[in-house]
A and B are shown apart, each in its own frame.
Chain A
């Protein structure tokens, strides 16, 4: 069904019309195939039927001009001569991905549309995953599909001069889906869907190093999914995670994908983050290399959170003083509890109890998770008693 839609939608320039036609064709198949037997070439049968349904619908259309345009476009979609493998029609699926992730659509609409048109999730499932009632999600999808048609968002792979920006937008949507699923609260179906979409992108754009980088990153994060939360659903620090729960197959798969990205010599933030995630999965953590990679990430995608991560890695590799000096140079994280708890930890290890207590206090004022609060309070009591 996804394949038929992928051929029909770009030809029509209208996802909604294509979807309706494909759904009708599937309904017809469900009725006929059990009765008359499945056709020799089910894919071609579905496409032909969906195409005919689309033609019927277009004939009922009100405006003559649209009729003429759509019928002309349809004349060009000949059903494939024989059943082919999924990956023989990459352009159509890719066109659909780029339309779904068009920056003229609201981000939440991009996500919903991508999951609905290319993922295997129903409207109800997408609604549940994003804690939105089904009618709301259905409405969001209808509005997005309407805008694609009415505003003339093209169903095609963007021309070269637009491509880098648009590829970034597509990758961002897929990573957003993954992060929504990674939680907390975790929603495994979204992680699985994001990885599946990442594989489609890596297959369709084999020369895009960052598409491979993103897939590797998702696989390497996903390898630790089972150990990330305790029974109460609280986050477990990386250092305290049960390594026996880590998924070796996923780790290997992620590293293989990353190995394919690096020789393309087009570094980007996803590849660097995947490399960091890969190092975290080693039995012995190489903090020096992780610190160097964070420095690389800082130059590719500057952000205070990356600076903080680098400072933590430097503290592990070269001692708390160096880490603390870097942390004190970070701007814009005054309200980030992670900065204060990380600073507090370094001050504690340096034996500067009073300053550590002050930093723990600031972290506590910003923390809301019970487990995290309990941890900070325990540490605060420790430094107070030894000060």
Chain B
């Protein structure tokens, strides 16, 4: 199964880190990503820019409504994600607990929906 690991955290936390701490964080993410790749479980993964770069789009009555900002203002924001291939929820939880961000914010684990092309 594929699972999306959504990494939530306080994006302002980054600003409070020292240069050295930022370096350590980047290194931790680098080695986590490498471990995930080496295991063959990595499907995709990215970091996202801050939510003040976000734009939310809704279409109502065929009209596209665009607003500045994220879908919801929350204390913790979606800052990045991984998609992993895992045999069970337990395996996905183990990957989630290794993401450096899980020690500061939280990681939501969501199974990816599978649609069959041949629907018979």
Q: Which residues in chain B, 88-120, are within 8 Å of chain A measured between CB atoms?
A: 88-90, 92-93, 109, 111, 114, 116, 118-120
Interface flag for A34 (CB, 8 Å): no
Question: Once bound together, how far apart are the Cα atoms of A154 and B88, in whole Å?
Answer: 6
Interface flag for A150 (CB, 8 Å): yes
Say whether B111 contacts A151, CB under 8 Å: yes
Once A152-B86, A152-B111 are accepted as A-B contacts, the answer to whether A63 and B92 lie under 8 Å apart by CB is no
Say whether A104 contacts B93, CB under 8 Å: yes
Question: Once bound together, how far apart are the Cα atoms of A102 and B89, in whole Å?
Answer: 10
Say whether A152 contacts B89, CB under 8 Å: yes
Interface flag for A239 (CB, 8 Å): no
Interface flag for A35 (CB, 8 Å): no
Question: Once bound together, how far apart are the Cα atoms of A64 and B115, in whole Å?
Answer: 10
By a CB distance below 8 angstroms, the chain A residues around B1 are 152
Question: Once bound together, how far apart are the Cα atoms of A152 and B110, in whole Å?
Answer: 10
Across the two chains, which residue of chain B brings its CB closest to A149? B111
Question: Once bound together, how far apart are the Cα atoms of A199 and B90, in whole Å?
Answer: 27
By a CB distance below 8 angstroms, the chain A residues around B89 are 102, 104, 151-154
Residues of A within 8 A of B (CB): 62-65, 102, 104, 150-154, 156, 158, 162
Once A62-B119, A64-B120, A104-B93 are accepted as A-B contacts, the answer to whether A153 and B114 lie under 8 Å apart by CB is no
Query: A231 to chain B: closest CB distance in Å?
Result: 49
By a CB distance below 8 angstroms, the chain B residues around A102 are 89
By a CB distance below 8 angstroms, the chain A residues around B93 are 104
Query: B90 to chain A: closest CB distance in Å?
Result: 6
By a CB distance below 8 angstroms, the chain B residues around A150 are 111
Question: Once bound together, how far apart are the Cα atoms of A63 and B109, in whole Å?
Answer: 23
Question: Once bound together, how far apart are the Cα atoms of A107 and B100, in whole Å?
Answer: 27
Question: Once bound together, how far apart are the Cα atoms of A266 and B87, in whole Å?
Answer: 32
Say whether B90 contacts A162, CB under 8 Å: yes
Say whether A65 contacts B116, CB under 8 Å: yes
Query: A145 to chain B: closest CB distance in Å?
Result: 14
Across the two chains, which residue of chain B brings its CB closest to A161? B94
By a CB distance below 8 angstroms, the chain B residues around A152 are 1, 3, 86-89, 92, 111
Query: B113 to chain A: closest CB distance in Å?
Result: 9
Say whether B116 contacts A63, CB under 8 Å: yes
Say whether B114 contacts A63, CB under 8 Å: yes
Q: 28 pairs across A/B with beta carbons < 8 Å?
A: A62-B116, A62-B119, A62-B120, A63-B116, A63-B119, A64-B116, A64-B118, A64-B120, A65-B114, A65-B116, A102-B89, A104-B93, A150-B111, A151-B89, A151-B109, A152-B1, A152-B86, A152-B89, A152-B92, A152-B111, A153-B89, A153-B90, A154-B87, A154-B88, A154-B89, A154-B90, A158-B90, A162-B90
Across the two chains, which residue of chain A brings its CB closest to B3? A152
Question: Once bound together, how far apart are the Cα atoms of A101 and B49, in whole Å?
Answer: 38
B1-21 to A contact mask, C-beta < 8 Å, 1/0: 101000000000000000000
Q: Which residues in chain B, 7-65, are within 8 Å of chain A measured between CB atoms?
A: none
Question: Once bound together, how far apart are the Cα atoms of A153 and B93, in whole Å?
Answer: 10
Query: B34 to chain A: closest CB distance in Å?
Result: 22
Closest 7 A-B residue pairs measured CB to CB?
A154-B88, A63-B116, A152-B89, A152-B1, A153-B89, A152-B88, A151-B89
Query: B72 to chain A: closest CB distance in Å?
Result: 23
Question: Once bound together, how far apart are the Cα atoms of A81 and B87, in whole Å?
Answer: 31
Query: A15 to chain B: closest CB distance in Å?
Result: 14
Query: B85 to chain A: closest CB distance in Å?
Result: 11
Question: Once bound together, how far apart are the Cα atoms of A104 and B111, in whole Å?
Answer: 13
| A-B contacts besides A64-B116, A152-B87, A154-B87, 11 pairs, CB < 8 Å | A64-B120, A65-B116, A104-B93, A152-B86, A152-B88, A152-B92, A153-B89, A153-B90, A154-B89, A154-B90, A162-B90
